[in-house]
């Protein structure tokens, strides 16, 4: 696990906190040397990946079947196989409608949103060199909230039911570009400046959201509150298809930068000596994070702690190498959000808990435990 207190936002992390495998060293990275035998960390990462994939597949089937209208897992499998032309048998008319028009779009959206938030969190922590970083640091979530709240409070409807999602997506992208432009000085950006600018823009965006709530009527306030609490209740196949290109593009691009993130973990100066264009890397990854997060927030509302805790847990379990951490965080984020959405739907039936509230309720105490664990291991924050 990384050491947040010893890795301030603008400082280079220590060599042992890099994104390298436990058995590697900076000299091995420079030469591109590979260990003759798989390291224990790599074996652990492979086992963890297989375990998460199996758990995710089982959880998706379970989530597709459980709810107000229960469908046995065997019947879910039969319907899926029937649609794929591999045998099986269709359900009755009501069961088919519930499964294919309600449950499966929701499961698919949870997969995409969770994978996007988890991957974005791993990239942010790599870019900032700090395991406490997450996408909200540079204002993406609050920027998306401003776009959504503005469209609701002003009664915009130029794109029909897509208006809120499009405005939220645009708000998130505009905000992160604004943060990046404001933090540049002399053709360069610094991590400390990015964080401080993000804090300022987040505060300003929060004020704009408050102003939008003040100007909205009662019906609009209820809609704003539902959106800010985060939910997948309005999942449809068109929404899945809308977020799919952004999610796939971001998830496909991110692993290509894993090795450069490992080198960046050595510090900016060593990374430059090893051939990394730090400024370009930072810009590309910030844009990838913005794409992933803005698309997720636009269709699901504000869902916190997934991008912060999932990479943190995987780093503790399998080490800090980004070759595993980036795709692993996407897989872990999908697993967490599918499980969270299943709990939100079934824990208080017939009511449904807001997904963002549920992730915060479980994520906040867990994050506090992580902070205390780190402090205890290091003997203080000094």
Residue with more model confidence, 332 or 137: 332
**pLDDT score at 378:** 61
CA distance 214 to 218: 10
First CA to last CA distance, the chain: 18
Of 288, 297, 279, nearest in space to 337 by CA: 297
For residue 245, pLDDT beyond 80: yes
CA distance 277 to 268: 9
For residue 19, pLDDT beyond 70: no
For residue 112, pLDDT beyond 70: yes
Give me the count of residues in the chain: 382
Lowest mean pLDDT among 251-255, 259-263, 313-317, 368-372: 368-372
**pLDDT score at 7:** 42
For residue 275, pLDDT beyond 70: yes
**What's 310-370 look like in SS3?**
HHHHHHHHHCCCHHHHHHHHHHHHHHHHHHHHHHHHHCCCCCCCCHHHHHHHHHHHHHHHH
pLDDT band for position 8 (cuts 50, 70, 90): very low
Tell me whether residue 304 is exposed, middle or buried, using C-beta atoms within 10 angstroms of its C-beta: 0 to 12, 13 to 18, 19 or more: buried
Residue with tokens 């879910």: 76
Of 283, 262, 68, 290, nearest in space to 170 by CA: 290
Mean pLDDT, rounded, of the chain:
83
**pLDDT score at 324:** 93
| Per-residue tokens: 362 | 């479980």
DSSP, collapsed to helix, strand or coil, labels residue 139 as coil
pTM score, whole prediction: 0.83
State residue 307 phi and psi, 5-degree precision: -70, -15
Contact 322, 261 (CB under 8 A): yes
Residue with tokens 């603008």: 10
For residue 22, pLDDT beyond 50: no
Of 130, 117, 119, 49, nearest in space to 329 by CA: 119
Tell me the CA distances in angstroms from 124 to 59, 236, 238, 307, 372, one per residue in order: 27, 29, 29, 9, 22
Task: Say whether domain 42-378 belongs to CATH 1.10.3470.10.
Answer: yes
Of 281, 290, 18, nearest in space to 130 by CA: 18
Mean pLDDT of 177-206: 82
Of 160, 37, 127, nearest in space to 307 by CA: 127
| Per-residue tokens: 12 | 């280079």
**pLDDT score at 318:** 85
User: Where are the chain's structural domains?
Assistant: 42-378
* DSSP bridge partners of 329: none
Residue with tokens 């051939």: 275
- pLDDT tens for residues 33-75? 444 445 677 888 889 999 999 999 999 999 999 988 899 999 9
Count of C-beta atoms within a 10 Å radius of residue 252? 10
Helices (H) and strands (E) in the chain, counts: 16, 2
For residue 86, pLDDT beyond 80: yes
For residue 138, pLDDT beyond 50: yes
In order, the DSSP letters of 197-226 are: HHHHHHHHHHHHHHHHHHHS-HHHHHHHHH
b (16+ CB within 10 A) / e for 354-365: bbbbbbbeebee
Mean pLDDT of 122-131: 85
Lowest mean pLDDT among 18-32, 55-69, 193-207, 363-377: 18-32
DSSP classification of residue 5: G
């Amino acid at each position: 696990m990384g050491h947040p207190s010893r890795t301030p936002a603008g400082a280079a992390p220590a060599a042992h906190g890099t994104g390298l495998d436990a058995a590697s060293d900076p000299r091995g990275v420079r030469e591109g040397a590979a260990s003759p035998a798989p390291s224990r960390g790599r074996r652990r990462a492979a086992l963890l990946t297989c375990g998460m994939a199996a758990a995710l597949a089982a959880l998706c089937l379970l989530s597709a079947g459980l709810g107000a209208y229960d469908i046995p897992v065997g019947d879910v499998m039969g319907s899926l196989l029937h649609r794929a032309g591999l045998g099986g048998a269709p359900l009755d008319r009501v069961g088919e409608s519930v499964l294919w028009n309600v449950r499966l779009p929701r499961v698919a959206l949870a997969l995409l949103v969770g994978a996007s938030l988890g991957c974005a969190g791993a990239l942010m922590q790599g870019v900032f060199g700090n395991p406490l970083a997450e996408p909200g640091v540079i204002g993406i979530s609050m920027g998306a909230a401003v776009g959504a709240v503005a469209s609701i409070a002003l009664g915009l409807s130029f794109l029909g039911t897509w208006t809120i999602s499009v405005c939220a997506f645009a708000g998130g992208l505009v905000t992160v570009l604004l943060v990046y432009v404001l933090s540049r000085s002399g053709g360069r950006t610094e991590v400390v400046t990015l964080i401080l600018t993000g804090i300022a823009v987040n505060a300003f965006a929060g004020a704009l959201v408050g102003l939008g709530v003040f100007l909205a009527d009662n019906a609009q306030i209820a809609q704003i509150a539902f959106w800010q609490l985060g939910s997948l209740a309005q999942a449809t196949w068109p929404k899945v298809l809308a977020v799919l290109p952004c999610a796939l593009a971001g998830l496909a691009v991110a692993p290509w930068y894993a090795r450069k993130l490992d080198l960046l973990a050595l510090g900016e100066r060593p990374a430059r000596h090893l051939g990394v264009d730090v400024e370009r890397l930072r810009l590309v990854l910030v844009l990838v994070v913005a794409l992933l997060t803005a698309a997720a927030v636009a269709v699901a509302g504000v869902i916190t702690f997934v991008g912060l805790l999932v990479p943190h847990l995987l780093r503790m379990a399998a080490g800090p190498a980004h070759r595993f951490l980036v795709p692993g965080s996407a897989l872990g984020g999908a697993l967490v959000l599918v499980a969270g959405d299943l709990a939100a739907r079934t824990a208080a039936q017939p009511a449904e808990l807001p997904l963002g509230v549920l992730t915060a309720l479980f994520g906040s105490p867990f994050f506090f435990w992580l902070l205390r664990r780190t402090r205890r291991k290091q003997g203080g924050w000094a």
